Amino acid sequence: MPSRGLRAAAQAITYLVEGRAIMTGSTADRIVSEARSLIMTRGYNGFSYADIAEAVGIRKASIHHHFPAKSDLAKAVIEETRAVIQAQTEMLANAIPDAGDQLRGYASYWERCIADNSAPFCVAGMLAAELPSLPEDLVASVRAYFADLTDWLTRLLELGVEQGSVSLAKSPEEEADAFMAAVYGAMLSARAFGDPARFGSVVETLLSRVMRIH
C-alpha cells in the first residue's frame, strides 16, 4: 500500500508527465489530445491527419487551419507538455517535500499508467525513437523536453542529498540521466514483453543500483 505522500506525488505527477491540463474543449484542444494518443501508441510516422479527422469528427482542412503542418501539431503536443512540467513542478514540491518520495511518485505514476494502458508510453519517448526522421523544428522541441526533465531530476536529486533521503554514487547530473534511462528502459521492456508488471520490477532493480532512497 503506497503511503499518503506517494499517492499525492503520483496525483501531482499525473499532470507533470503528460501535460494533462484541464482542456477547454476547443477544436484545437481536441486535436492536440487525439494527436497525443496517436503518437503515444503509433509514433509520429504512424498516423495522419485523416486519422485525427475521423476520431475528432472534423474535416482535415480544419486541422490544417489550426496546425498547417504535421510537425506543428506534434510540437504543440510537446510544448504543451513542457509548459505543464514547468507549472507543475512547484505544485509537486509543495505537495511532497521529500525528494525521495517525489522520485518514487514519478515512477509510480508511470507504473500505474502502463498497467491500466492509459499512457502505455511517453509521447516524448516515442518521438525520440523516431528522431532521425523528424523535422528539425520538432527535433528541437523533443530535445528541449528531455532537457527540462533532466534538469528537474537533477535539482530533485540535489535536494534529496541535502535532505539526506537520497544517496548518490555519481554526480546529480549523471544520476539524473541514469534515473531517466531506467524509467524509459523499463517502459520499453514492458512493451517488448507485453508485460506491464515488468516496468515496476525493472525500475526498482535499476534504481537500487543507481541510488539508495531511504
51-96 pLDDT, tens per residue? 999 999 999 999 999 999 999 999 999 998 888 777 777 777 778 8
Q: What is the pLDDT, as a whole number, of residue 17? A: 54
Residue 68: half-sphere exposure toward Cβ, Cα within 13 Å: 0
Q: What is the pLDDT, as a whole number, of residue 1? A: 41
Q: Return the SS3 of 98.
A: coil
Q: How many domains does the chain have?
A: 1
Residue recorded with cell 517525489: 102
d(CA 169, CA 210): 7
Strand partners, 211: 168
Residue 185's domain comprises 4-213
d(CA 79, CA 101): 27
d(CA 35, CA 53): 10
Quick check: 214 pLDDT over 70?
no
Q: What is the pLDDT, as a whole number, of residue 8? A: 58
Quick check: 43 pLDDT over 70?
yes
Q: With bands split at pLDDT 50, 70 and 90, how would you rate the model's confidence at 210? A: low
Residue 59: half-sphere exposure toward Cβ, Cα within 13 Å: 3
Residue 81: which CATH number? 1.10.357.10
Quick check: 22 pLDDT over 50?
no
